[in-house]
Structure 1
Amino acid sequence: MDIKSDEEKLKELFEVEEKPNFNKAVKRAKIFSIIRTTIISLMMFIIVSFVLFISNDFILNVMNNKEEDNLRTLFDIAMPNAYIGSIQIDDRIMVGEIDYVRYRFLENKPITDGNYKEGYTYMPLINGAYGDMGQYLFNRHGKSSRDLNEALNYNKAGKKVMKFYHPSIKYENYINNLENIDKIGSDKLMEISLSFDKGYSLEEVKTMIPSDITLNWYWVDTFTKNDYYFSEKLIFDEYNVYGIKALDNQGDSIDNPEENFIDAINEGKDNNYSNKYKELFNNLSNGKGEINKEDLKIIGVVISGDSKSLKALKDKTYIKAATLGAVADKY
């Protein structure tokens, strides 16, 4: 029989009573540590998320302002008779989008020209994954590049895309929709692109267009003889020509429209929007370091009116080609 001493009995008594208390203390410490770590992690997550959210919003706001400026600058030198209407900004995580309505003028009547989008992002890996899907309603198919070049295209609103013929290129075929202008009802308004036989000054063009016809846009000769359009004898459409808007975004005539055109090229060149602006500046300035009004040779226009007024241009020898664009009800 094992007889324990009083000291051993006392030790066992204290071990039995102390052990559970110690385990409880350890468990409480672990739980407190987990709770504290969770709270700290949650607070850090909230702080970091807030900082990232504010940074994302700030960066995209700067980018959408720049993208809108770029877009408006582009419309000052290109996009014949087309204007930026209402704009909606949609900024998300790392990407954003400008959704805008485009419109044009038939005389002083504005008509919608479709909805268009421009995307932007500060993450190069997803650049181009969010934004516009192109200018055309659908892509044309043809047996040859010449067939594609001469084919009639439509934009997203179903409007005919106008064509332009450079006077220095001798084309096998020219479109002249003025010949069939009588087939369009007198209750319609329309836009037509006119391609001239040579370059004219702004003042000369103003006298060439009758006063009852609205002059919407001037096509400026911005090309050089080395441009591939010349070697391929390509027809231009309204998305690859540059020129001067004769009307402001309210449909009112601009007194000195060439100034907006020249300023837009200088702004684009100085802000590095695109190498295209530098190319336009170099082609038009002729090495002088600046673009003057006299450097602008007008080789075509976009005009608008009804069939009655436009018939006055049918037999003008300075018109090499005329292509119909938008058509809408007069009233």
Structure 2
Amino acid sequence: MNNEPFQSNDIEGIVKKAKRKSVLRNILISTISLLFVGTLFIFINGLIVGNAYNKAVEANRLLFQISEPNINIGGGTFDYRILSGTYSYNKYKVIGNRVVPWGNDTREFNALGHNNKGSAISVYDDVSVGKTEEDKQYYNTTNGQRTMQFYHPWFEYTKIHNDLDLIQNAPDNAIMEVAISFDQSYSVSEVQEFFNLKDKITWYRINDYNQDAKEQLKGLHSSGDSASFVYGFNVTMLKGEGDIVAQNEEDFIGTLEELKDTGNYNYFIEPLLESVNQNMKDGIILGVVVTGTKEELLKIKQNNNIRAISLGAVATEY
């Protein structure tokens, strides 16, 4: 039996050893806790942002149903952030059997699935060319194709497009899109009655101006509205189990209401709904987009209800 008393250095060693164990234990506990909390946060953040992404993309899909004639969206990427994210997608037109690239957009969204206001409207890929406002023509920066222009029947313009000569001089194998602006507002049913190329209509342009603007914007306007800045709807839509059905004004309002319910873009959806309801009794269709061959499109001149003809994208069959 060892009856020697404890030495002070023995006690210090025991204390130091205990402290080291305590520190190591605390580090281990902290590390495990941090890993657990971090993994849990990443998991929860992924669920929140993934759900928000689905909402934001759906709102964006609805937006393209009421804007940017003939443009489809697809492809792209998606990046997570902390309670937010970004996604990008490609824009394109199908002219005949040709796919025409039309640029790409990137949008930011928050945890609620709302596309941020700063990126709420597409990054318009237009550039204007012309020495004067009257000579101005818009082109897409991705492909150099012409961007269609529309003219409102309420307003006067220093120059109005009549691109029949361009259509006439196009190659015989060309397929073209053309924006037609009417002399007044009509209903869908009226357009279907008088327009001789009704089977070639792909998109209706609607009147998004309210009655107050009719007085406020009186005077001479230098140019029409680029197709990137007008609203309307496709001539057909998918419904039910993939059935293709014709759209009318009520379907357009339904899409606006659906878009409003997402909480996205209300700063312009609500005024747009108000304008559409104000103008409904007089008809809201101000123009159409038609797609066809040179031979088909030259028949446009047989219509007496047309104020302007503006050529857009052109594709050649091969």
| Category of TM-score, reference length = shorter chain | 0.7 to 0.9
Bigger Rg, which one = 1
RMSD between aligned residues: 3.3
Kindly indicate whether residue 282 of structure 2 is the aligned counterpart of residue 256 of structure 1. no
Moved more, 195-204 or 183-192: 195-204
1:200 alignment partner, one of 180, 186, 189: 186
Q: What residue number does 2:291 align with?
A: 304
Q: What residue number does 2:55 align with?
A: 66
- Using the size of structure 1 for normalisation, the TM-score is 0.80
**Structure 2 counterparts to residues 219-230 of structure 1, below 5 A:** 219-227=205-213, 230=218
Q: What residue number does 1:216 align with?
A: 202
Moved more, 296-305 or 240-249: 240-249
Q: What is the CA–CA distance in structure 2 between the aligned matches of 1:39 and 1:304, rounded to whole Å?
A: 69
- Aligned with 1:207: secondary structure? helix
Give the paired residue count.
306
Q: Which digits, 9 at most, give the CA deviation of each residue in 1:219-264, with x for residues without a partner?
A: 11121243365567352111221112113479x9632343431211
Indicate conservation of the 8 Å contact 1:116/1:132, yes or no. no
- Aligned with 1:189: secondary structure? strand
Q: Displacement of 1:285 after TM fit?
A: 2.0
Q: Displacement of 1:148 after TM fit?
A: 9.0
Do the aligned partners of residues 308 and 163 (structure 1) sit closer, same or farther apart at CA in structure 2, a change above 3 Å counting?
Answer: same
Q: What residue number does 1:43 align with?
A: 32
- Aligned with 2:101: secondary structure? strand
Kindly indicate whether residue 18 of structure 2 is the aligned counterpart of residue 29 of structure 1. yes
Letter in 2 for 1:255: A
Letter in 2 for 1:322: I
- Aligned with 2:286: secondary structure? strand
Q: Displacement of 1:85 after TM fit?
A: 2.5
Q: What residue number does 1:283 align with?
A: 275
Could you tell me the percent identity over the aligned residues?
Answer: 27
Q: What is the CA–CA distance in structure 2 between the aligned matches of 1:268 and 1:63, rounded to whole Å?
A: 15
Q: What is the CA–CA distance in structure 1 between the aligned matches of 2:46 and 2:133, rounded to whole Å?
A: 47
Name the one with the larger strand percent.
Answer: 2
Structure 1: runs of 5+ lacking an equivalent: 1-10
Q: What is the CA–CA distance in structure 1 between the aligned matches of 2:97 and 2:238, rounded to whole Å?
A: 11
Q: What residue number does 1:320 align with?
A: 307
Moved more, 265-274 or 234-243: 265-274
Q: What is the CA–CA distance in structure 1 between the aligned matches of 2:117 and 2:142, rounded to whole Å?
A: 20
Letter in 2 for 1:284: V
- Aligned with 1:117: secondary structure? strand
- Using the size of structure 2 for normalisation, the TM-score is 0.83
- Aligned with 2:276: secondary structure? helix
